[in-house]
Amino acid sequence: MALITLRQLLDHAAENNYGVPAFNINNMEQGLSIMRAAQACEAPVILQASRGARSYAGDVMLRHMVVALAEMFPRNHLVMHQDHGNNDATCLSAIRHGFTSVMMDGSLLEDMKTPASYDYNVEITRRVTMAAHAVGASVEGELGILGSLETGEAAEEDGSGAVGKLSQDQLLTDPDQALDFVARTKCDALAIACGTSHGAYKFSRKPDGDILSMETIRQIHNKLPNTHLVMHGSSSVPQELQDLINAHGGAMPQTYGVPVNEIERGILMGVRKVNIDTDCRMAMTGQFRKIANDMPNEFDPRKFMIPAMQELEDLCRDRFERFGTAGQTHKIKPVSMDEMAKRYASGALDPNIATTKVA
């Protein structure tokens, strides 16, 4: 069994200075494509399911899919992670269904629209972390709210995303508060806000430091050099995929994502988990549109899926290689969740926040 926890994987990534892409999955085709890429470049992998994915595919289907993928790709250690859990029930039911890691996103209230108070965030993240650690599962918390520094607005993804105008204070994680948050919640990884947002429409121009604040990441890493940072909204929204979609009947307005070289810079500054969904969607959709256009008499879904899966596999391979994840899987000796639970109980895995790096 190649299922491991997020904490184990990110500890290894930090020790060896690499980042790990976390790809969202909703169906078998995405799961197979990502795992084929991981196998081809010997990478450990994080698969994550949103609440939307869980209701789309169903928990039973997702659970069996992950078990099947772990069996089919035994050399590729894999983490199964809940993306943007909104309350205790979402996170704990994910663990019950075999997820080895959860995100408790307390930056927003349960409705995933209303910005939450700091105290609310600390309390719910601390509570979920205590319960998850008791069974060895890992927890990612979020501090700061994802959204655009250009517009002060969050993108809406299937009904989730802050409503209303957000202030710069809300859109950029405060390093001192991050220190306090990790100490009080004991979460294993921290999602931060630095100007990225979900979906394709992140930036109206190629981002510079005014709208994508890598400086925020640097400051947080200086305060918390031993905390695994998570960058959400990390799709690069490749121009060639926008062009391919638009050349075959799509109507995506020109947009800009997070350049991959900025993510590589983030990895040097403590970013260990890099969330990517939109790029994967665009990779498949570009091929669906192309086949539909080029072969209007085609109606076998596999004829659409096969090139779409290849395009997704190629994209994932590129990210594994650029983030330094390639070649790492065989270096990891899996630790069971029971063993992780014992280590948490002994205090051995408490966040080490004692040191502050010299800038």
Closest by Cα among 319, 279, 348, 357 to 18 = 319
Asked whether the beta carbons of 226 and 355 are under 8 A apart, the reply is: yes
**Least CB distance from residue 141 to Zn ion, whole Å?**
13
Q: Which of 97, 126, 232, 273 binds ligand 13P (CB under 6 A)?
A: 232
Q: Which of 24, 86, 196, 197 binds ligand G3H (CB under 6 A)?
A: 24
d(CA 275, CA 83): 9
Binding partner at 107 among ligand 13P, Zn ion, ligand G3H, none, C-beta below 5 to 8 Å by kind? none
d(CA 229, CA 217): 8
- From the list 6-14, 45-53, 106-114, 174-182, the region that binds ligand G3H by CB under 6 A is 45-53
**Least CB distance from residue 13 to ligand G3H, whole Å?**
21
Binding flag, residue 188, ligand 13P (CB under 6 A): no
Alpha carbon 110 to chain centroid distance?
19
Residue with tokens 């993240």: 125
**110 burial class (0-12, 13-18, 19+ CB within 10 angstroms)?**
middle
Binding flag, residue 232, Zn ion (CB under 5 A): yes
Q: Give the DSSP per-residue string, 88-144.
A: HHHHHHHHHTT-SEEEE-TTB-TTSSSBPPHHHHHHHHHHHHHHHHHTT-EEEEEES
Closest by Cα among 198, 337, 219, 167 to 275 = 198
Residue with tokens 């947080």: 220
| 3-state DSSP of 277-341 | CHHHHHHHHHHHHHHHHHCCCCCCHHHHHHHHHHHHHHHHHHHHHHHCCCCCHHHCCCCCHHHHH
**Least CB distance from residue 341 to ligand 13P, whole Å?**
26
| Annotated catalytic residue within 11, 59, 83, 88 | 83
Binding partner at 52 among Zn ion, ligand G3H, ligand 13P, none, C-beta below 5 to 8 Å by kind? ligand G3H
83 catalytic residue (yes or no): yes
Q: Which of 276, 282, 284, 349 binds ligand 13P (CB under 6 A)?
A: 276
Torsion of CA 14, 15, 20, 22, to 10 degrees: -60
Count of residues engaged in binding ligand 13P, rule: CB under 6 A:
14
Binding flag, residue 273, ligand 13P (CB under 6 A): no
Binding flag, residue 133, ligand G3H (CB under 6 A): no
Residue with tokens 């085609």: 298
- From the list 212-220, 260-268, 269-277, 302-310, the region that binds ligand 13P by CB under 6 A is 269-277
- Which residues between 280 and 339 bind ligand G3H (CB under 6 A)? none
In this structure, the chain runs to a length of 359
Binding flag, residue 83, ligand G3H (CB under 6 A): yes
Binding partner at 235 among ligand G3H, Zn ion, ligand 13P, none, C-beta below 5 to 8 Å by kind? ligand 13P
- From the list 56-64, 175-183, 233-241, 245-253, the region that binds ligand 13P by CB under 6 A is 233-241
Q: Give the DSSP per-residue string, 154-206.
A: PPPBTTBS--S---HHHHB--HHHHHHHHHHH--SEEEE-BS--SSS-SBSSS
**Least CB distance from residue 8 to ligand G3H, whole Å?**
23
Which of 236/328 has CB closer to Zn ion?
236
- Which residues between 264 and 283 bind ligand G3H (CB under 6 A)? 277
CB neighbourhood size of 330 (10 A) = 11
For Zn ion, the binding residues (CB under 5 A) are 232, 275
Please identify every residue annotated as catalytic: 83
For ligand G3H, the binding residues (CB under 6 A) are 24, 50, 52-53, 83-84, 157-158, 198, 277
For ligand 13P, the binding residues (CB under 6 A) are 24, 83-84, 198-199, 232-235, 275-279
